[in-house]
Amino acid sequence: MFYQPVSYVSNFFGWLISPLLNFLKRILRPFIKWVLRRTTGLCELQRTCYCEPSGASRILGIENSLKQSKSVKVHTLLQFLDLAAREKRLTAAGSAQIIRNTVETICCIKKIHLDAHRPFTKLFGECVSIIWSLKQLLHDLEEIRTTAYDSSNMEHEKKLLELWNLLMPMKELDCRVSNLWKDIGFQGDDPKTDFRGMGLLGLENLHFFAKNYPEVALQVLSHSNHPIHGYSFAIVGINLTHLAYNLWKDGTAKSHIYNICCHHLQIPGPTLLHFHRFYCYLFIEFDKLWIAEKPATIMEFGRIRSKFENDIRSLLSNTNCLFKLNIPVEHV
């Protein structure tokens, strides 16, 4: 190994400078905010709403600003919203009232004149609605995930058999416990043990993919059955549920989620549908990467999986990120 002065110097600066900058930012933030407030006559929330373009950059700005607020009143308000999300009160009927109350409370705390700042109240309300709808959706996802696959539950069984019929329209399943399940990439003769930590969410994701994008799903399935560069479709699918779930849970996917909500004017906020579509995007892109990498054996899965995750994370780190389903068209 050679001594590399350049990397040491840059490492040294990395260690020293970035914490220092963060420290300075933290110290100077209130001062900068105060100056801007005095000069523009607007609070940070207003400046974010008026200056940032619609989508992730505005909503993330609002979210950070609220989170970093030192006001006790703002924190009480945030707790109230968190509770509403946990109790699933952000429904079509209940949401409007909660959002209106939130906007009025913030205007009161920040001394914003409601009538003079009509555009602000509208934009801010939209941001609040999307932020807390996402939180509520995460609780929903958690519930589906922690629902274990139960073979005595008729609904679960029905969905599983439907998945078979969607993926194998030409082939009848001989019996419920069958080695044929391996043809769509389950590990053994009974898929019930394969859902594990992803519970029903894994099945719902696979089912959505096969049902809503049947052609693509069948194409991906056929790629997965390649004799040399193949992989287990269902197992990889469940693994990708885990990835999608993690990206939503840890907030990495927020850039995409917030952008898609604004672009599609889904004002109340993201729904389960968005999660499923995000999953389908991941599956299609993973399949592409897998084929491009031409792995010698399935044992390379770990390496390709982490490469894929890194790629997706770096795409999502851009606030303008918006994943669009690329439905591949193969020449016949």
Total Cβ atoms within 10 A of residue 242: 16
Q: Does the footprint of another protein cover residue 206 (CB under 8 A)?
A: no
Total Cβ atoms within 10 A of residue 44: 20
Q: Interface mask (CB under 8 A) for another protein, residues 76-115, using x and -?
A: ----------------------------------------
Nearer to another protein, 29 or 226 (CB): 226
Which tokens is 210 given?
């096969």
**Near another protein by CB under 8 A: residue from 21, 24, 83, 298:** 298
Least distance in Å: CB of 214 to another protein? Answer: 24
| Size of site (CB under 8 A) for another protein | 29
C-alpha count within 13 angstroms, C-beta hemisphere, residue 249: 12
**Near another protein by CB under 8 A: residue from 272, 301, 313, 315:** 301
Nearer to another protein, 187 or 326 (CB): 187
**Near another protein by CB under 8 A: residue from 10, 76, 153, 187:** 187
Least distance in Å: CB of 113 to another protein? Answer: 48
Nearer to another protein, 104 or 309 (CB): 309
Which tokens is 219 given?
């194409």
Q: Which stretch binds another protein (CB under 8 A): 101-109, 261-269, 301-309, 322-330?
A: 301-309
**Near another protein by CB under 8 A: residue from 61, 202, 268, 269:** 202
Least distance in Å: CB of 255 to another protein? Answer: 23
Q: Does the footprint of another protein cover residue 193 (CB under 8 A)?
A: yes
**One-letter identity of residue 103:** V
Please give the full DSSP string across 164-191, using - where no structure is assigned: HHHH-TT---SSSS-GGGGGGT-SSS-G
Q: Does the footprint of another protein cover residue 252 (CB under 8 A)?
A: no
Least distance in Å: CB of 283 to another protein? Answer: 14
Q: Nearest Cα to 285, choosing from 253, 303, 307, 255?
A: 307
Which tokens is 319 given?
């606030």
- Torsion 167-295-247-139 (CA) sign: positive
Contact 211, 277 (CB under 8 A): no
Contact 209, 280 (CB under 8 A): yes
**Near another protein by CB under 8 A: residue from 302, 330, 331, 332:** 302
Least distance in Å: CB of 42 to another protein? Answer: 43
Q: Does the footprint of another protein cover residue 19 (CB under 8 A)?
A: no
The DSSP symbol for 93 reads: T
**Near another protein by CB under 8 A: residue from 196, 226, 294, 307:** 196
Axis-axis angle for helices 199-212, 233-249 (nearest 10): 110
Q: Does the footprint of another protein cover residue 32 (CB under 8 A)?
A: no
Q: Does the footprint of another protein cover residue 14 (CB under 8 A)?
A: no
Q: Where are the beta strands (DSSP E) in the chain?
A: none
Q: Compute CA 248 distance to the chain's CA centroid, rounded to the nearest angstrom.
A: 3
Least distance in Å: CB of 31 to another protein? Answer: 38
Total Cβ atoms within 10 A of residue 48: 24
**Near another protein by CB under 8 A: residue from 105, 239, 266, 271:** 239
Question: Largest Cα–Cα distance of the chain, in whole Å?
Answer: 75
Please list, in sequence order, all residues whose beta carbon lies within 8 angstroms of the beta carbon of residue 298, skipping any fewer than 6 positions away. 230, 231, 232
Q: Interface mask (CB under 8 A) for another protein, residues 131-170, using x and -?
A: ----------------------------------------
Total Cβ atoms within 10 A of residue 67: 10
Contacts with another protein by CB under 8 A lie at 1, 3, 8, 182, 187-188, 193-194, 196-198, 202, 231-232, 235-236, 238-239, 241-242, 245-246, 297-302, 305
